[in-house]
Amino acid sequence: MRALVTGGAGFIGSNYVRHLVRSRRAERVVVLDALTYAGNRESLSELEQAGEIAFVRGDIANQDLLEHVIASERIDVVVNFAAESHNSLAVLDPARFFRANVLGTQSLCEAARRSGVERLHHVSTCEVYGDLPLESEERFDEESPYRPRTPYNASKAGSDHVVRAYHETFGLPVTITNCSNNYGPYQFPEKVIPLFTTRAIRGEPLPVYRSSANRREWLHVEDHCRAIDLVLDKGADGRTYNVGSGREASVAEIADAVLAATGRPRDLIEVVPDRPGHDRRYLLDSTRIRTELGWAPMIAFEDGLPATVRWYQENERWWAPLLGRSPVVEGRW
């Protein structure tokens, strides 16, 4: 296939690009990224220098550019990771999220429709479903109603609806995955695991929200990349697949695990106020992708988290220049 990966300089996108290159399943890989503060071209520098990918700086809202790239590169598959994705920033600047995630996705769908691509795969999040009580036995499946609680969640829900509408109205061939929280290498240090890790490495306080028992389901990014490949290969046109590990961990547990892995004391934990609309818990029912496509996670959280901490310990050259780029100071609402 000849693949266009939008948002390919971000965390999950750059990991997927490396996955495509390693697997040799793509004849051509073109990355398009706007390089906003969380996009980092350095994450792909070795692939670009080796001529294994082509890079285009651009916004998915630029429909003319997208149509030009798809046509000139003879793209047949588009995988869309492009999104503003930080809940805390969405509280401070919600309009930027709706512009990028809803209007940008519509421009991408229109460009894909006009260009006649064989498949557009859209990467979404578990957060579109809302949250769950901490003690609930419930899980979100693909038929669960959308109940977003934050501007970021709502903008991603809107992007999912755009993709489905283009499939239903225009016959655009699409698939969607809604994934749980990802972790792994090359994640921008505003997100909780790299935030805690880089701060612990530097001996700085770890900002833990007051509701530290709130839980998330954690999926290693490499397992997510394998899931996307399976959906592209075997997924039914128009179908949504939840991708989750089933492994939950609270913010407090993550802080303790990072401190243990870095050998730092617990007195580095600093309690900060919750952000507005802070979700309690997400957990996905991923039965569909497991039974229909044969996917299962391969990296246990107990192995993946220490390995991720080691990656940050060994790659300070990658993350240190990014520390001043986050526009959010947690707890200052």
Counting the structural domains of the chain, the total is 1
Residues in the chain: 333
What local confidence, expressed as pLDDT, does residue 275 receive? 54
State the pLDDT confidence band at 20, using cuts at 50, 70 and 90: very high
Most confident listed range (42-56, 79-93, 260-274): 42-56
* Residue 34: domain span: 2-182+220-243
Residue 328 domain flag: no
Give the global pTM. Answer: 0.92
The CATH number linked to 84 is 3.40.50.720
* pLDDT of residue 135 exceeding 80: no
State the pLDDT confidence band at 209, using cuts at 50, 70 and 90: confident
**Mean pLDDT taken over the chain:** 92
Residue 251 domain flag: no
Angle, helices 301-314 vs 251-262, to 10°: value is: 50
List pLDDT tens digits, range 290-328: 999 999 999 999 999 999 999 999 999 999 999 877 666
Residue 206 domain flag: no
Residue 276 domain flag: no
Residue 113 domain flag: yes
Question: CA-to-CA distance for 175 and 159, rounded, in angstroms?
Answer: 13
List pLDDT tens digits, range 81-132: 999 877 788 888 999 999 999 999 999 999 999 999 999 999 999 999 998 8
Work out the percent of the chain whose per-residue pLDDT is above 70: 95
Residue 249 domain flag: no
What local confidence, expressed as pLDDT, does residue 91 receive? 83
Residue 196 domain flag: no
Residue 212 domain flag: no
Q: Which residues pair with 4 in a beta bridge?
A: 30, 78
List pLDDT tens digits, range 55-82: 999 999 999 999 999 999 999 999 999 9
Q: 275 versus 133: which is more confidently predicted?
A: 133
